[in-house]
Structure 1
Amino acid sequence: MRVPIARLAAVSFLLALAAPSPAEERTARFDHGPPEIASGFSAKPLVRAERWMAVTAHPLASEAAADILRAGGDAVDAAVAAQLVLGLVEAQSSGLGGGAFALVWRAQERRLTTLDGRETAPAAATPALFLDDDGKPLGRLEAMIGGRSVGAPGTPRLLEALHAKGGKRPWAELFAPAIRLAREGFKVTPRLAAQVAADASRLALSPATRDYFLPGGRPVAAGDLLRNPAYADTLEALRDGGADAFYAGPIADDVVAAARSAARPGALAAEDLSRYRVIERDPVCAPYRVYEVCGMGPPSSGGIAIAQILGMLEPTDLARLGPDSAEAWRRIGDASRLAFADRELYVADPAFAPQPVAGLIAREYLRDRARLLERGRALDAAEPGRPKGSRTLNLAPGRAHDVPATSHLSIVDAQGNVVSMTTTIEAGFGSRLMARGFLLNNELTDFSFLPERDGRPVANRVEPGKRPRSTMAPTIVFRDGRPTLAVGSPGGSQIVGYVLKTLIARLDWGLDVAQAAALPNMLNRYGPFELEKGTPAEALAAPLRQLGFGIETDDLTSGVHAIAIGPHGLEGGADPRREGVAIGE
């Protein structure tokens, strides 16, 4: 469905207004970690290609993926190479010390699978992990920084599992770009330099982290050549020994030592690494208009939330209302609130808590929830529903502290295979601990700190071996059984809002993927409407306030990377708020 020419002109005007001059660029401070750079919001050029496309969060990672695709590699080959480079040049966001979720479409088999490379809690972890001696939740930074927050990483095993899904190039070949950059050095970008400077006092707490990011006591600066020989050594070990070289032996020993010897030590043990496994799960797919939208299921809430929100919005003619309509955003915002209410109550690691996924995305359930949007004003409160399969559950809601960091890549190869992968170490710079040239995650803070409320257990409480709930939402959209869009974004629990905006902008408002990524961010999770500071989104503050919403403005730094797939080729778009680029031929 396309929007009228007049509506497209209005959208173009919004996008043009949204680009600040360099003097207006801002750096925001957050109590959970380093800032993001507001780098301007006019759309980056739309990249068109006939055969293949790679869109990642850093030019060097996109180039690594492109080189693999030019050499005849598969989308999964390119994803592995890109992630290994991202772990070097965007180490603050993802890497070997973290985890990821990946959707993989195999064109020849016509099969979509999802891979769960989420981190796991140590066997010695208890529900009281993030409680103080009085049983009160720890402060966010106290919980996050140090070894207590480190889970067993999943990314190395995930990359190996990806390659096994049909990689055409030799495993060792995929390591060459990252090894070369680690040994020869790469130039520090303005975004990385600003994040290091803002987080310097925390990075200095760990000697290995301090020596790398603050050489000689000075934060690395934009344009500096940064080498990481320890990371190159680690990559060579994985290249020669596969993922087993990470999960047992000297690398595993150093990861465990870093987590256990920190000022706030954790419980990670060698056995937690050696028993780690990637899990292949069924995708969460739901109809939306003429499309089928597929995403990641639990322990991620992203796929469920997007399916729920779109299902609740389907009765609304969003194309007619358009992106500058307060009524459209009222419905989008309240549908999001209802999905988040369900998320907080139900979604967790399915090995530990029954998951009523089918009930949560059932059309009849979402039709009932959609009726709540018909009152014409903001909901007084967004309460969880009672989907089929939830009647016997006696759970309490629990909110976690998933924060805006992370990275995303979308890749399509010449054979039509697709990878949409969201990858993370959780907060910016993770736990601030380094081992063997990579940062360790703080993923355990994605658990709910309180294990129970009013005598009822919280589904996402800490338990041994458990995977914390995530909001990551790698997504592939199908039409007539064929992929038509691959998309995802970083952003903590704001990821759902960023991906949702892009889907609606593309599927309902007819924007190309570059325009959709650049559209000002507006989202709602828990009541207040969050509007992107310094953009035309702020013009909707007054009408949304009149509709009953509280308003918050902030630098909502998404990192949408999307590829549209059509009969005439590929179109790639990268979010202008970050450094990513699309490359295709």
Structure 2
Amino acid sequence: MTLSRPYFVLSAITCALLLTACASSNKGNHAASITANQQLLLQPELASGYKEKKGWTHEKFAVAAANPLATDAGYQILRAGGSAVDAAIAVQMVLTLVEPQSSGIGGGAFLLHHDGKQTLAYDGRETAPMAATENLFLGADGKPMAFIDGVVGGRSVGTLGTVRMLELAHAKHGKLPWAKLFEQAIDLAENGFAVSNRLHTLLKAEPHLKKDPVAAAYFYNPQGQAWPEGHVLKNPELAAVFKAMAKDKSKALHEGAVAQAIVDKVQKHPSNPGQLALSDLAAYQPKTRGAFCTDYTAITQITYVICGMPPPSSGAIAVAQILGMTPAMMPQDSLDKGLPNAAWLHRYTEASRLAFADRGLYVADPDFVQAPGGDWKTMVNTAYLSSRAQTIGDKSMKVAKPGHPAPVKTSHAPMPDQIEYGTSHISIVDAQGNAIAMTTTIEAAFGSRLMVKGFLLNNELTDFSFAPKSADGKPIANRVEPGKRPRSSMSPTLVFDKASGKLVASAGSPGGALIIHYTAKALYGMLNWGMSPQEAINLPNFGSTNGPTLLEQKRFPTATLDALRAKDHEISEMDMTSGLQAIKRHLGQLQGGADPRREGVVMGE
């Protein structure tokens, strides 16, 4: 449906209060086989309800983001003639305010941009401080510390990258003045916004944020209770930072008083200080990379070009591997009453195990680790994927081993399983046809739990391997090193028709390591099963990170579970709180979808 402007005015005022349902109370119903640590690994942010969405259709432009107020900020910029990058900047600033648990100016981001001719990948990933060593997350006993002990405090804070990356992208693709892109965020920060159901739910369940007196005073009332849904929250300190950035761009964040406040917060943490220095902030540089693009032929025999972020993101490689090893099938052969059937799920999750095994061994910051055979494309080579797919049998392999994409064997050891956290995703197509897919993060819910100048700092360094070496002394590719970018699962994706070169879709999701599966699901549904973005997003979630077969709780029939168990799958049913946003071109229109598991919407004209 095409929504009129009066609806948008209403949504900007009320959606934050009404869009999501009551918090889920099903946390105790997870399969007994999932340990507490696995629940953290696979559930980056708590569920906060499920509200059906019918999808949106627009003619000229569209913006999809994780909060109605943020979506509206992007909509206003597009309506004023701004570009997709302009709108993304406005969206990100408002998300910093209204969705602080997931992303913000205190973190990092990956942005894919297409201008009708070229697709570029902008890397705003955080980096390790220059004083950091591979032993950053080792305790006094020489063993990796408990994960949460690494997260909370200054130790986990990486050098911020989001704003400097957006400044670079704006210099190349922006149309409106930089300062104008901050107006709505400044207004909301000064005059207040209503706490949403999701923010309230996560604040209520969060045990560590109150340890920071600044965060406690902002997010909780004097009695220590999370501000209720609908409470109007103002953030004058953040408004001041926005004003400074509107004037001086990223310099206002990376140098001067704000930078000093960030460094003081990190280095002077009373129990877990970090090593971030003023020189790290001043020296940070985003990178412009070539997009990682692969061909994909759907069941319709249409060949698409699927583009994502190259390393240090593992997302595009893993998605390409999974799709390349999962047969393209018609709905009647792979869906049962609208849900993926057991035979298809078996093939998909086995392909996932193989992809995640490769990911754990090979993928890391390309400035520090060489790709197999000197080219990341060796990991998605058709012959290699075909040979890997041939190892899939009638029974589950349970845990796959890495393959050998190139003749030269790696000297690295596989990275042990480790918790990964959530993010936020933005998809935008502007009136000129420029498109972006941007996934942005402060890592864990509420990051390092450190608040400074009205925003939260990331805990991105915990995306590195806590263990720098294996038991036999082999280095782990994704270990901490000075100036290094940690491996990511973020999977911002742009899809094109290979024959015409025209844009087909923009998609992506938050969700830690499961981002890869959420994105692959949406792509498979749209490209093979002919689904709209909303229909593909609404599908139940599923996947494997090279362990149990993960199925979204209470979304699959017992017969499907039994059929998978008959193939030796260890099933773990759980909440799988994706936050997919997607826009798809279809018959000259822009179809939009937003995840019913979170509070996002799509707006446009």
- TM-score for the superposition, normalised by structure 1: 0.93
The offset of 1:393, in angstroms, is 2.3
Output the aligned Cα RMSD: 1.9
Q: 2:355 aligns with which of 332, 339, 344?
A: 339
Report if the CA contact (8 A) 1:80-1:162 is conserved: no
2:340 aligns to what SS in structure 1?
coil
| Aligned pairs (5 A) from 1:60-99 | 60-99=69-108
1:184 partner letter: N
State the aligned residue count.
560
1:212 is aligned with what amino acid?
Y
2:257 is aligned with 1:257:
no
Question: Given the alignment, which residue of 163, 166, 169 partners 2:170?
Answer: 163
Q: Residue 319 and residue 475 in structure 1: after superposition, are their counterparts in 2 closer, same or farther (change >3 A)?
A: farther
Deviation at 1:218, TM superposition (A): 2.6
Q: How does 1:213-232 map to 2 (within 5 A)?
A: 213-216=219-222, 217-232=224-239
Distance 1:537 1:512 in 2: 23
CA shift, 1:37, in A, is: 2.6
**Structure 1, 203-212 or 63-72: larger mean CA deviation:** 203-212
* Counterpart among 285, 302, 306 of residue 277 in structure 1: 285
Distance 1:209 1:489, change over 3 A: same
The corresponding residue for 1:369 is 388
Other structure's SS at 2:591 match: strand
Give the AA of the match of 1:401: Q
Q: Is the 8 A contact 2:22 2:197 kept in 1?
A: no
Distance 1:353 1:318, change over 3 A: farther
User: AA paired with 1:496?
Assistant: I
Query: Match of 1:341, SS?
Result: helix
Within the candidate set 488, 496, 501, 2:521 is matched to: 501
Q: 1:294 and 1:248, CA in 2 relative to 1: closer, same or farther beyond 3 A? A: same
2:459 corresponds to? 442
Q: 1:136 to 1:307 in 2, by over 3 A?
A: same
Structure 2 unaligned segments of length 5 or more: list them: 1-19, 29-35, 298-302
Q: CA deviation at 1:122?
A: 0.6
The one-letter amino acid of 1:488's match is G
The TM-score, its normalising length taken from structure 2, stands at: 0.90
The answer on 1:311 being equivalent to 2:304 is: no
Distance 1:566 1:34, change over 3 A: closer
- Deviations along 1:353-404, one digit per CA (max 9) or x if unpaired, are 102312101111111111112x22212531111112x614211001363534
Q: Given that residues 400 and 447 in structure 1 are in contact (C-alpha distance below 8 angstroms), is that contact kept between their aligned partners in structure 2? A: no
Compute the displacement of 1:23 (Å).
9.1
1:358 pairs with 2:364 = no
**Letter paired with 1:81:** A
The answer (yes or no) to whether the contact 2:306–2:496 under 8 Å persists in 1 is yes
| Matched position secondary structure for 1:353 | coil
Q: Does residue 293 of the first structure (1) align with residue 301 of the second (2)?
A: no
Give the percent of matched residue pairs that are identical in Structure 1 and Structure 2: 46
| Distance of 1:531 and 1:582 partners within structure 2 | 27
Conserved? CA contact 2:427–2:436, under 8 Å: yes
Give the aligned residue type for 2:502: R
**What SS does the corresponding residue of 2:294 show, helix, strand or coil?**
strand
Distance 1:124 1:538 in 2: 53
Paired residues of 2:159 and 2:280 also in contact (CA < 8 A): yes
Distance in 2 between residues matched to 1:158 and 1:464, nearest whole Å: 20
CA distance in 2 between partners of 1:168 and 1:500 (Å)? 32
Could you tell me which residue of structure 1 aligns to residue 66 of structure 2? 57
Check conservation: 2:329, 2:528, Cα contact below 8 A: no
Equivalent-residue separation in structure 2 for 1:34 and 1:365 (angstroms): 32
Residues 162-202 of structure 1 show CA distances to partners (whole Å, capped at 9, x for unaligned) of 21231111100000000000000000011101111111x31
**2:411 — aligned with what?**
394
Cα displacement (A) at 1:21:
8.7
Q: For structure 1, which segment, 204-213 or 170-179, has the greater mean C-alpha deviation from structure 2 after superposition?
A: 204-213
Q: Which moved more, 1:264-273 or 1:529-538?
A: 529-538
Q: Distance in 1 between matches of 2:562 and 2:264?
A: 53
Alignment of 1:397-408 (within 5 A): 397-399=414-416, 401-408=418-425
In structure 2, do the counterparts of structure 1 residues 57 and 398 end up closer, same or farther at CA, with 3 Å as the change threshold? Answer: same
3-state SS of 1:372 partner: coil
Partner of 1:268: 276
1:566 to partner: Cα distance: 2.9
Question: CA offsets, 1:277-323, max 9 Å, x none?
Answer: 10011111111111111111100000000111111124666763234
Conservation of the 8 A alpha-carbon contact between 1:319 and 1:509? no
The separation in 2 between residues aligned to 1:81 and 1:538, in whole angstroms, is: 45
The letter of the residue matching 1:559 is G
Query: Residue 400 and residue 528 in structure 1: after superposition, are their counterparts in 2 closer, same or farther (change >3 A)?
Result: closer
Secondary structure, in 3 states, of the residue corresponding to 1:165? Answer: helix
Q: Residues of 2 paired with 1:282 and 1:405: CA distance?
A: 25
Shift of 1:527: 2.2
